[in-house]
Each structure stands twice: as C-alpha cells, then as structure tokens.
Structure 1
Amino acid sequence: MSITSPSTDRISLRRRRPPRTGDGGSTRRIALGFAGGLIAIVAWYAVSVSGIVSGRGIPRPDEVITAAWTLFTEQDLLFDIRVSVTRVMIGVIIGSVAALPVGFLLAWYPTLRAMVEPLVNFFRALPPIALVPLVIVYFGIGETARISILVYASFFAAVIVLFEGISGIDPLLIRAARVLGANSWEIFARGVVPASVPHLFTAVRVALGVSWATVVAAELVAAQRGLGAAIQDASTFYRIPDMYVGIVMIGIAALVMDLILKLAQSRMTAWQEKSK
C-alpha cells in the first residue's frame, strides 16, 4: 500500500494542469512565426548563392529588397497592391455572399445536395485560368471580366466549405430543439445560423486564399495595373527580382488579410466553446 503526501499530490496535479493559452501562448506563436520566416530567408539566401538553379539563378533576398524599394519609389508598386487588394476583396465579398444561401440550402435539404453537389465539384475543379478565353468572349477585357474570374473562384470554394461545415452540425441539437417545440424557422435562425458562424469565416478565408491564387490569372485579362500585371510585365522584360517582389507582395497581402479575418473570427465567436 503506497502513501502519497499532499505535497506529492500537488506536484502531480501541477504536472497534469493543461498549458495556459493566454498572452504567453500568443507571444510564443508570434516568436515561432518570426523564427520560421527567418529560417526561410536563410534557406533562400543559401540556395541563391549556391548556384544550384541554372540560368540567371535565384536573386538574393537583398537584391529583391533593393528591387522592391525601386518599385515602391519609382513605379508606384503601392498602387498595384491597392488595385489587386480591391479586386480580391470585391471578388471574395460577392462570391461569399452568393455562396451563403446556396451553402445553407445544400446543407438543409439532402435531396437538393445530392442533385447539385456533383455540379459544384465539377465547376470547382475547373482552373480559373482555363476560363480566361471564355471570359474575354462574354465580358470583354474590362474590370468586369477580371472580377468575374475572382467571383467564380471564391463562390465555389466557399460553397464547398459552407455546406460541408453546416451539414456537420450536431443533429442532436436539432432534435433537442424539436422536442422542446421549436419550429423549423426557429431551429434555423436560433440554432443553425449561430452554429454556422465559424464555418462562414472558414469559407471566407478559403475563398480569400483561392482568390489570391487566382489574381494573376484574373489580371491576365488585359490588366494594366495590379500585382499580377506587374509580375507579367517583369517576366516580359526578364526582370527576375521584380517578379519575386510581386510574388512576395501577394503573399504578404494575403497573410495580412487572413490575419484580419482570424482576429474578427476570434472576436465574433468568443462565446462558443472551443476545444484545443
């Protein structure tokens, strides 16, 4: 028979206590993010000076920074960033708003979902760049054509996430609400809609990522300004550091917008119980 002292019990409880996820956890995540970025830059520099890549090779990080300074000060790269961000925001907003009722309908009516889901998966699998010739035929080469490509990409990405997430809501909650006398509208408005808020944010974030991946294809449609147009212009004249600047700016803009969405999601879904 083993006897444990109170101090031993306190030690064991202290060891079993789950780690805190407060400010310390956030600071640690930020520090790890910076460490990962630093490792990526060091690896980039090592590859660029090693001569592994043939031809003109990969420009060093300092060469890309110099090219970025030149583009910002002499060619108004900030305006290109604003143009691309505006296009992506419009495409994501229109695509996500259009996907919202479709996602709810597909999740709420299994028969409709069985009929429409193959079509949704079919169109989602089509790369937006393959639709550029058709977009030019039907919408011309103006801003409407470019926005339509982003709306297309955002819509189908958001629909998939929405109806998969909403249909995965615990059916016990719906049955419990019916037992308590709630009608279909009350279940939908007071149960399904609040429970689907995290899935809505996830759908917008996925649509945002797909839109940034599509923006270069969208700006192939005779665009004069924008990050995709800047990359195309740099590739035409074989300015490799300028191409890297455009690529990095797309990644930074997408990262900032995603962080803003994550912050909004954490504020608006703080009432929900989260398991970590």
Structure 2
Amino acid sequence: MAVITAPDKTPTTSTPRRSRRRVPALLLNLIALVVGVAAWALIASAQLADVPGPLSVSSRALDLIEDGTLVDDALASLRRVFLGFALGTLLAVPVGFLMGWYPLARGLLEPYVQFFRTIPPLAIIPLAIVLMGIGETPKVFVIFLAAFLSCVVAAFQGVVGVDSTLINAARVLGAPDRVIFLKVVIPAATPFLLVGMRIGLGSAWATVVAAELIAADKGLGYEMTHAQTYYDIPTIFVGLITIGVIGLVMDRLLLLAERRLTGWQERR
C-alpha cells in the first residue's frame, strides 16, 4: 500500500531581500541648494521681503571680485579665523586632556572654563580694545577664545567618557599610565575632540564679524558693516554667502579628517 506524503511547502530557493536604495548625499545637497535658491528668487520677485534677488547679488559679487575687494576681505577674515582657531585648538587639547585625566587639574581649571563659557566672546571686545589696542591682536584673541571654549569642553568630555573597562583591561595587561593614555584614551577621545573642533570653527566664524568691528580696515565683517551705512544690501548678502561658503568648506575638511581618523567607529 502506497504512503501518500504531503507536499513540501518549503521553498527550494529563498528570494533575497531587496535592500533600500539610498539617495546619494551629494544629490540631496544639490537638490536642497536648488530649492533654496528658487525660494530666495521667489521671495525677492514677489517682494515678500526687502531682499535682493540671486541675480543682483551675483552681479554685485562679480563686481567685488573684479576690483579685488572680495578676495582681499575674504583672505583677511580667513587669516584671522584660521589663526584664532588654530591657537584655540592647540591650547584646548592639552587643557581638556589634563582636566579629564587628572582630578587635580580638573578641580583647578574647570571653574575658570565654566565661568568664561557663560560670558559671550563678543562681551570681551571692549576689554580687549582697552588691554590690547586696536590692531590684529584683539581680533584674533576673541576668535581664539570662542574656539578654545568649544574645543576644551569636547576634549575634556572625550577623556572622561572613555570606557573604564578598556582602561582597566590595559592595566591588567601591565600597561603603564603613559601607554594607556596614548594608546587607549587619546584614540577613544578623538571623535569628541573633532566634533568640538567643528563646533569651535563655527563659533570662530560667528565671532569674526564682530571682531572686525574693532577698527578694522579689511575683512568681510568690515565690508558688511560699511555696506550697512549706505544701505547696500547686495554687498551684505555677498559677505554672508562668502562666510557661509568658506565655513562650509572648512567644516567639510574637518569632517573628512574625522572619517579618516575614526574609521574604526561604527557609522549609520
């Protein structure tokens, strides 16, 4: 007598799951740029606000490029931002690491760091003028202060946030404190530090316009303030866009460095 068996309903081949297609980030950036410029042109043409359109701003930018004004101003502001940001970062890294690694240094330095964090760097401008004069020094100093206060907190938080299991494991294996600091703490704190540098860079560019009010004769902030006197709105827009573009390029460079230095870190 034949035995009838039920048919096997298990599929012989499994259908691979389709992965979602991700839109390239660059394409999304271009779409956002086009939409933003189109919205700007629409607002200007409809006179919803007293702003110049993209064409008039582009024309003014070409005029400033041809006579060399925009290039000179951009280089002057970039030099101040780069110098203040570099000095602020170079000092913030050791100070933040000392505060995070040594409780004694934390107790001595943290009150001063937290105190000055509550004071906007722009509020230091009058004091900087009195103590440092009207040259380049007070301009660079307020930019330095803005970058330093952002970076030092990130460096400090990166050190105290290191997983204690990693440190204890290194000590069990016989590693001295110097090796633990160089091989465990610094790599683990690097992502925090780079984020702090990006925030500090934004703070530096946010401060440069006010810093260039200190008796400056060049710079994007100076040019924008000068244009305000004559109600030259297209020139103000050119200055704003130039600051944004230069700041964005510098931020992308820092982001590229972050990806290269923290390639071991899982990302979404």
* Contact 2:158–2:188, Cα closer than 8 Å, also in 1: no
1:7 is paired with a residue of what secondary structure? coil
Q: How does 1:234-253 map to 2 (within 5 A)?
A: 234-253=227-246
1:254 is paired with a residue of what secondary structure? helix
Report the CA distance between 1:93 and its aligned residue: 0.6
Q: Distance in 2 between matches of 1:51 and 1:36?
A: 22
Q: Distance in 1 between matches of 2:155 and 2:228?
A: 38
**1:169-192 deviation line (CA, Å, top 9, x unaligned):** 211101111111112111111111
The equivalent residue for 1:97 is: 90
Distance 1:4 1:123, change over 3 A: farther
1:35 is paired with a residue of what secondary structure? helix
Q: Residue 80 in 1 paired to residue 85 in 2?
A: no
More helix by proportion, 1 or 2?
A: 1
2:245 is paired with a residue of what secondary structure? helix
The equivalent residue for 2:10 is: 4
Question: Of residues 130, 139, 146 in structure 1, which corresponds to 2:132?
Answer: 139
The equivalent residue for 2:30 is: 34
The two structures have a TM-score, normalised by structure 2, of 0.91
Look up the equivalent residue of 1:137 and give its one-letter code: V
Report the CA distance between 1:51 and its aligned residue: 2.5
Q: Distance in 2 between matches of 1:216 and 1:162?
A: 27
Distance 1:42 1:118, change over 3 A: farther
Structure 2: where are the runs of 5+ without partners? 1-5
The equivalent residue for 1:121 is: 114
The farther-off stretch of 184-193 and 106-115 is: 106-115
Q: Distance in 2 between matches of 1:255 and 1:74?
A: 25
Q: Distance in 2 between matches of 1:246 and 1:254?
A: 12
Q: How does 1:1-276 map to 2 (within 5 A)?
A: 3-8=9-14, 10-11=15-16, 14-15=17-18, 28-53=24-49, 57-110=50-103, 112-113=105-106, 116-270=109-263, 272-276=264-268
Largest Rg, 1 or 2:
2
Q: Distance in 2 between matches of 1:127 and 1:48?
A: 34
* Contact 2:60–2:234, Cα closer than 8 Å, also in 1: yes
1:182 is paired with a residue of what secondary structure? coil
Q: Distance in 2 between matches of 1:261 and 1:274?
A: 18
Q: Distance in 2 between matches of 1:66 and 1:33?
A: 24
Cα RMSD, aligned residues only: 2.1
Percent of pairs with identical residues? 40
Q: Distance in 2 between matches of 1:198 and 1:76?
A: 38
Q: Distance in 2 between matches of 1:244 and 1:256?
A: 18
**1:121-145 deviation line (CA, Å, top 9, x unaligned):** 3312322221111000000000111
Look up the equivalent residue of 1:143 and give its one-letter code: E
The farther-off stretch of 42-51 and 59-68 is: 42-51
Report the CA distance between 1:36 and its aligned residue: 0.7
Q: Distance in 1 between matches of 2:246 and 2:75?
A: 10
Q: Distance in 2 between matches of 1:76 and 1:50?
A: 31
Look up the equivalent residue of 1:7 and give its one-letter code: T
Work out the number of aligned pairs and report it. Answer: 262
Q: Distance in 2 between matches of 1:122 and 1:45?
A: 44
The farther-off stretch of 122-131 and 36-45 is: 122-131
The equivalent residue for 2:3 is: none
Distance 1:6 1:198, change over 3 A: farther
